[in-house]
Amino acid sequence: MLEVVDLHARVEGKEVLKGVNLSLREGDIVVLTGPNGSGKSTLARAIAGDERVEITKGDVLLDGESILGLTPEERFKKGVFLTFQAPPEFEGIPVGSFLLRISGKGEREALEELKELVEKLGLPKNVLFRELHRGLSGGEKKRLELLQALFLKPRFVILDEIDSGVDIESIEKIVELVKELARDGSGILYITHNPRSLELLGRYRVLRMEEGRIIG
């Protein structure tokens, strides 16, 4: 269980989160919608441990224990994974080497799995040898983020507008793979304001955020 309990937070001195409560179980999909500026991305960053988000009250619990004192890397090792609206580029870090290092999987088996995922996601065949996110289109960067989640299979995946700036066909593929992640046991927090994603996700719990609070 991943829980956000009465969370208040500031960014650059401005109060953004004003008492957020949220729970997510492994294998569940929770969809979070709301207008721009309502606090959705700040909530995602707070859960993942972004130091630019100042927590002023409340807690983030993993299996009943606070993770507020943990670094983003420590939270990742415990199974909390965040995809970015605008994935940053990393010079000198090949995609394949990076994923092999952080996964702890055997090289031969892992490379085969990665090649299958590259094909499944329609990414350039040489993407595993390219620097992380460099030289990719916006849509390709989003799909590479999703590849990482599918490969690493974290306990909880926070998808921050992974469907923004992509075409309808890509959205359909993204939602299909998100459902696959949930079937494999990952809890998904799917942040979006794309009506097509909402339609495709269908029966999953949908929450709305406004002015720093989840209103239902």
Whichever domain contains 54, its CATH number is 3.40.50.300
Phi first, then psi: what are they for 184, rounded to 5°? -80, -5
* One-letter amino acid of 111: L
Phi first, then psi: what are they for 183, rounded to 5°? -60, -30
If DSSP codes are grouped into helix, strand and coil, which group holds residue 54? Answer: strand
**Structure-block tokens of residue 179:** 């459902």
Task: For the chain, state the CA radius of gyration.
Answer: 17
**Average pLDDT of the residues in 33-39:** 93
* One-letter amino acid of 65: E
Nearest to 186 by CA among 78, 22, 28, 2: 28
Is 206 within 8 Å of 31 (Cβ atoms)? yes
Nearest to 47 by CA among 58, 33, 35: 58
pTM: 0.90
For residue 125, the model assigns a pLDDT of 85
Handedness of CA 183, 101, 128, 137 (dihedral sign): positive
Domain range holding 181?
2-214
**What is the rounded distance in angstroms from the CA atom of residue 17 to the CA atom of residue 40?**
9
**Average pLDDT of the residues in 132-147:** 83
For residue 140, the model assigns a pLDDT of 82
If DSSP codes are grouped into helix, strand and coil, which group holds residue 112? Answer: helix
Nearest to 174 by CA among 16, 188, 154: 188
Band the pLDDT of 211: cuts 50, 70, 90: very high
For residue 73, the model assigns a pLDDT of 92
Average pLDDT, the chain: 90
∠ CA 85-33-26, nearest 5°, is 80
For residue 38, the model assigns a pLDDT of 94
Domain count, the chain: 1
For residue 98, the model assigns a pLDDT of 85
**Structure-block tokens of residue 138:** 């916006």
Asked whether the predicted pLDDT for residue 165 surpasses 80, the reply is no
For residue 142, the model assigns a pLDDT of 84
Q: State the residue for tokens 């890509």.
A: 170
